[in-house]
Amino acid sequence: MCGIFGCILKKGRAAPLIREALKRLEYRGYDSAGIATIHGGKLYVKKDAGKIDEIHRRLDLDDMPGRIGIGHTRWATHGAPSQENAHPHGDCKWEVAVVHNGIIENFDELKKELMERGHEFKSKTDTEVIPHLIEEGLKNGLNLEEAVIEAVRRLEGSFAIAVISTKEPDKIVCARKESPLVVGIGEDGMYCASDVPAFLPITRRMVVLDDWEVAVLTEDSYKVVNALTEEEVIKEERHVDWSPELAMKGGYDHFMLKEIMEQPEALKNTLRISDFYYDLLAASLIKAERRFLVACGTSYHACVAASYIFSKVAKMHVEPVIASEFVQRYGEVVDERTAVLAVSQSGETADTLVAVRYAKRKGADILGITNVMGSSLCRISSVYVGQSSGPEIGVAATKTYTGQLLALTKIAIKVARRKGLIDEKGEKELLEELSKAPEEVRKVIEKTKERIKELAVKYHNRKSFCFLGRGVHVATAMEGRLKLLEISYIPSIAYPAGESKHGFIAVVEPGYPVVFIIPPPDDETFDDVLSNIIEMKSRGADIIAVVPESALEKVKDFVDDPIVVPDVPKLVEPIAFIVPLQLFAYYVSVAKGYDPDKPRNLAKSVTVK
Ligand code: M6R
């Protein structure tokens, strides 16, 4: 997730306005930024790694001439955060400049093709193919609008782009597919942006572009065409009355809710990551004799889930370990035949880094999954996957947890294929199953949201909760409990359901809320989970449960408050079934009057030991 902005003014300079707009989009990404303007037939570009204010101090971004320009604030997916990878990107002669939010899936083949035709590339980004494709169109006699249309038709994946060119210095052409893009209609000029907050202080009149739409902006007009049909589209104008803060949260009350809702989109982005990295990770894991998954908090829960998934899908033992315990617990067995796969949203968690640095000193192969490209974990890993979930601002991890689960599951499938446990067809089937995750999560949100709001109101004053699950849903229970605990301050516990009768059951008294994650009836753990529910129910517990539709009939007599979810493919279960528990935690926190985005005593990235 990056932020893009473009403006074409009737008078004055574009650059200061672009810089201020990028600042308002910084919540979408902040590892590098840049601006391009056109003046006197010449393109001016300033860009660098870092946050906008830092770059502005170094380069004076305001000091760029021209009434027209585009800008970008980046959340790296392809290519580490650096000056050369920062947007805008240009064609061979810097006559075209492009800013982009999204992921171009076929950039590798396009890049090869363009290089064969003599194009020179300066960055490692997927974006850079776009200006070169436009350059070819312009060379072949197309105008800028036509060249952009021709270029975007060749792109697979997601994009919101804004393009300027010295060939037609009086317009911005922007286009979108799957990444957001809005056009702002002002008194003093026209604007385009990833998101409304960018131009909120300037104008509240806007038009939302849909997939495959291309907008051509001049200083006092805009036109929208469909890139596939090339027909003009008449768009409905809207008036936004959001406050700047509400706009940043996409109209949601909190970032946490926005991020829960963003999960279908974020998962699509994780699915877009090239198989190349997953294959490399799988190869490294197979080569090792001992394999540890090391992480903290939510990321650790993703590792717990992965240990079940690796065992079932890839017949591989991977040991999930809480990072702060790794050295004490396994330090003496780490050597050059060990692989340590560290999972960290931020890539900067001190406990995780201490563990991997120790393992590296002892010769282990360090692998990583992180959401932050260029983080310390990326630098220390021999291979890593950047999960591309986009910036997560709420302290409670939500979309990055489901992204981690997806990435880990994909690695397990790749291991299974490499070990010969499945053939090409088998791999394709499993990957197809996994690719249903975004849509299944969307359905779960749609089906459960209102019901969970009611349950949160009903239960928010309880003093404690217990979360129980079996198999992979031990991890779902642990994560559901952490979500509730950290943002509502309700002391809660999570147990493997089978273990609950070895101690926890003593706590249960009438009215004690126990949350179960119930698998479908054909799951090998179903009968045992049902027995555990009956044990709790017979002691008077209030049973709340995530229940797939197919199990409802069998459990309805024992569950007080079912949260019914659709049946989903097996591999998608841990990803889909945590979502109602994220929502439950969120709404309980709100019902208690807390701010779920800023839980007390917690930081988004814990950089102390
Ligand atoms: O950035 P990391 O994934 O390494 O962070 C690990 C934990 O600090 C993090 O998951 C924490 O537990 C979250 N607040 C959970 O919502």
Looking from the CA of 122 toward its CB, the CA atoms found within 13 Å total 16
Give the containing element (helix H, strand E) for 287. helix 275-287
Three-state DSSP state, 609: coil
Q: What is the pLDDT of residue 551?
A: 98
- Give the integer Cα–Cα distance in Å for 99 and 174: 9
Alpha helices (runs of H) in 227-274, residue ranges in sequence order: 244-248, 255-261, 263-271
Residue 338, beta-bridge partner list: 290
What residue owns the CA closest to ligand 1's atom 7?
297
Annotated active-site residue in 303, 378, 604, 609:
604
What residue owns the CA closest to ligand 1's atom 14?
396
Q: Specify the amino acid at residue 112.
A: K
Question: For this structure, is 93 an active site residue?
Answer: no
Closest alpha carbon to 550 in 522, 529, 516: 522
Q: How many residues does the chain have?
A: 609
Q: Specify the amino acid at residue 345.
A: Q
What residue owns the CA closest to ligand 1's atom 12?
297
Residue 447, burial from CB neighbour count under 10 angstroms (0-12, 13-18, 19+): middle
- Cβ within 8 Å of residue 118, ≥6 positions away: none
Q: Are 92 and 134 in contact (CB under 8 A)?
A: no
Question: Which atom in ligand 1 lies closest to the alpha carbon of residue 605?
Answer: 1
Q: What is the pLDDT of residue 593?
A: 96
Distances (CA, A) of 516 to 457, 485, 557: 19, 16, 14
Q: What is the pLDDT of residue 521?
A: 97
Three-state DSSP state, 306: helix
Max CA distance (Å), the chain: 81
Three-state DSSP state, 385: strand
- Give the integer Cα–Cα distance in Å for 602 and 175: 40
What residue owns the CA closest to ligand 1's atom 8?
297
Looking from the CA of 494 toward its CB, the CA atoms found within 13 Å total 20
Residue 547, token pair as written in the block: 């229940």
What residue owns the CA closest to ligand 1's atom 11?
297
3-state percent breakdown (helix, strand, coil) of the chain, nearest 5? 40, 20, 35
- 480 CA distance to ligand 1 middle (Å): 14
- Give the integer Cα–Cα distance in Å for 166 and 543: 66
- Cβ within 8 Å of residue 230, ≥6 positions away: 149
Distances (CA, A) of 452 to 111, 466, 516: 47, 17, 14
- 302 CA distance to ligand 1 middle (Å): 11
- Give the integer Cα–Cα distance in Å for 501 and 512: 15
Q: Specify the amino acid at residue 434.
A: L
- Give the integer Cα–Cα distance in Å for 299 and 153: 38
Q: What is the pLDDT of residue 10?
A: 97
Buried residues in 526-541 as b, exposed as e (16+ CB within 10 A): beebbebbebbbeeeb
Q: Which of 254, 301, 346 to mutate to test the pocket of ligand 1 (most atoms within 8 A of CB)?
A: 346
Q: Are 215 and 24 in contact (CB under 8 A)?
A: no
Question: Which atom in ligand 1 lies closest to the alpha carbon of residue 400?
Answer: 3
Q: What is the pLDDT of residue 566?
A: 97
Q: What is the pLDDT of residue 538?
A: 94
Annotated active-site residue in 2, 7, 174, 378:
2
Which residue bears the tokens 């979309």? 399
Low pLDDT (below 50) residues in the chain = none
Residue 128, burial from CB neighbour count under 10 angstroms (0-12, 13-18, 19+): buried
Peptide bond into 88 cis (omega under 30): yes
3-class SS letters over 67-124 = CEEEEEEECCCCCCCCCCCCCCEECCCCCEEEEEECCECCHHHHHHHHHHCCCCCCCC
- 296 CA distance to ligand 1 middle (Å): 6
Residue 160, beta-bridge partner list: 101, 176
> Over the stretch 179-230, which tens digit does the pLDDT of each residue have?
889 999 999 999 999 988 898 889 999 999 999 999 999 999 999 999 999 9
Looking from the CA of 251 toward its CB, the CA atoms found within 13 Å total 6
Q: Which 8-state DSSP code applies to residue 332?
A: G
Classify strands 68-74 and 3-9 as parallel, antiparallel or unpaired. Answer: antiparallel
Question: Which atom in ligand 1 lies closest to the alpha carbon of residue 296?
Answer: 6
Percent of the chain with pLDDT over 90: 87
> Over the stretch 239-264, which tens digit does the pLDDT of each residue have?
887 777 777 888 899 999 999 999 99
Q: Which 8-state DSSP code applies to residue 301?
A: H
Q: Which of 259, 341, 345 to mutate to test the pocket of ligand 1 (most atoms within 8 A of CB)?
A: 345
Q: Are 347 and 604 in contact (CB under 8 A)?
A: no
Q: Specify the amino acid at residue 607.
A: T
Q: What is the pLDDT of residue 600?
A: 84
Question: Which atom in ligand 1 lies closest to the alpha carbon of residue 297?
Answer: 12
Question: Which atom in ligand 1 lies closest to the alpha carbon of residue 295?
Answer: 4
- Domains observed in the chain: 3-248 (3.60.20.10), 252-435 (3.40.50.10490), 445-609 (3.40.50.10490)
Phi-psi domain of 390 (left: phi exceeds 0; alpha: psi -120 through 50; beta: other): left
Classify strands 513-517 and 465-469 as parallel, antiparallel or unpaired. Answer: parallel
Q: Across the beta sheet with 290-295, what order do the strands follow?
A: 319-322, 290-295, 338-344, 365-370, 383-386
Question: Which atom in ligand 1 lies closest to the alpha carbon of residue 396?
Answer: 16
Question: For this structure, is 2 an active site residue?
Answer: yes
- Give the integer Cα–Cα distance in Å for 148 and 162: 10
- 395 CA distance to ligand 1 middle (Å): 8
- Give the integer Cα–Cα distance in Å for 223 and 149: 14
- 605 CA distance to ligand 1 middle (Å): 7
**CB-based pocket (< 6 A), ligand 1:** 296-299, 344-346, 349, 352, 395-397, 482, 486, 602, 605-606
Q: What is the pLDDT of residue 29?
A: 79
- 471 CA distance to ligand 1 middle (Å): 23
Q: Are 127 and 117 in contact (CB under 8 A)?
A: no
Q: What is the pLDDT of residue 490?
A: 96
- 556 CA distance to ligand 1 middle (Å): 35
